[in-house]
Amino acid sequence: MAERCAVIGVGQTHHKAKRDDVSIAGLVREAAKMALADADLTWTDIDAVVIGKAPDMFEGNMMPELYLAPALGAVGKPMFRVHTAGSVGGSTALVAAHLISSGIHKRVLTVAYEKQSDSDAMWALSVPQPFAAPLLAGAGGYFAPHIRAYMRRSGAPEYIGRMVAVKDRRNAMRNPYAHLHIADIDMKMVEESMMLWDPLRYLEACPSSDGAAAMVLSSEDALSGQYPPAWIHGMAMRSEPTMFAGRDQVNPRAGRDCSADVYAQAGITDPRRQIDVAEVYVPFSWYEPMWLENLGFCDLGDGWKLTESGATAFDGDIPWNTSGGVLSSNPIGASGMLRFLEVAMQVRGQAGEHQIGGARVALGQAYGGGSQFFSMWVVGSDKP
């Protein structure tokens, strides 16, 4: 039987378009040292380090666990590197958690980061390969057609995306670490922002950020730190192929299966009622209603109605992305881990101005690739 595992320390950088005040090591150490301090630990207390990030080409530093080992106090320890595309921050946390739940280690430091400003995210994500199709759409252009498919299927009115964009940016005003702080954001500002990939407007898309996230995970007999632990109640990963006949990219089965697995572990039968707060990977506004359905918070086709009703807003009954989410900070490799970290903060009661009062059970989700890699965890304030 698996051992219990909890989050006992969290740390993150101030996310910015360009963190030109630090090196790569400086960036990851900022988050890692904050997580250690939160857990009242030092480097020597850590048994193993697990890092994750998106393609090495962002920084032009191949297999960076080698260069970063001493910067993360990993000398003499096991050090591990995960890469599962956009979901990587989430899967990195899960690999770290399994090192505890398997009984192998007592305390594991996990770190995810991206220093995108060393190069250019658009370039690194779509390095042109010989014989490939001419570059037609860019990053958002991959997802925009699926958003249109969702609108067609669900009959959602076009302003739903703008509502999400406004809601998450307003939430970001409560989060001092968020990249985007747009004080006067409203529906009109989003509507008047440039149309990038119709139906997606500029303010409905995520920024490109430098940033890092870190957590200290612990076994039950090694708890420490100033805040109560966030216990892991369930964790799962699922993948499906990028392209195949009849693939549903709007509501991918890998996401549905992943949530079913994680809910079963956590004893969740009614996510909307049982989950107090969620941080879900929403890089483009419309992915909120899409993932509401995929994650079983409502029936198929009703996701947009939930968004419209205000249920996912800060004062709604199932607040989503109170940190501002990926729409407000997007250091790609760390974006998934930030979702996992933010829900741990919620159930530990340390989320400050974006804390949801009384949050006891929370869901973190990350996805990547062409909506094909999913990682999720459910954390709670009660010991499972």
Judged by beta carbon, residue 197 or residue 320, the one nearer another protein is 197
**Angle, CA 55 vertex, CA 50 and CA 58 arms, to 5°:** 110
Q: Where are the alpha helices (DSSP H) in 102-135?
A: 121-125
How far, in Å, CA of 8 to CA of 245, rounded? 44
* C-beta of 222 vs 341, nearer to another protein: 222
Closest distance of CB 125 from another protein, Å:
7
Q: Is residue 312 classed exposed, middle or buried when 0-12, 13-18 and 19+ CB atoms within 10 A define those classes?
A: buried
Q: How far is the CB of 131 from another protein (least distance, A)?
A: 5
Q: With contact defined as beta carbons under 8 Å apart, do 91 and 336 qualify?
A: yes
**Least Å from the CB of residue 8 to another protein:** 18
Looking at beta carbons only, is 60 or 357 nearer to another protein?
A: 60
Contacts of 92 (CB under 8 A, 6+ apart): 50, 51, 52, 82, 110, 111, 112, 336, 337
In the bound state with another protein, the residue whose beta carbon lies nearer, of 125 and 345, is 125
Please tell me whether residue 381 adopts helix, strand or coil conformation: coil
Distances (CA, A) of 29 to 26, 261, 337: 5, 34, 16
Task: Say how far apart CA 8 and CA 348 lie, in whole Å.
Answer: 9
Measured from the CB atom, the residue of 176 and 241 that comes closer to another protein is 241
Q: Closest distance between another protein and the C-beta of residue 368, in Å?
A: 9
Closest CA to 205 of 139, 280, 115: 139
For another protein, the closer CB: 173 or 189: 189
Closest contact distance (angstroms) between CB of 95 and another protein is: 6
Q: Cβ 346 to another protein, closest distance in Å?
A: 26
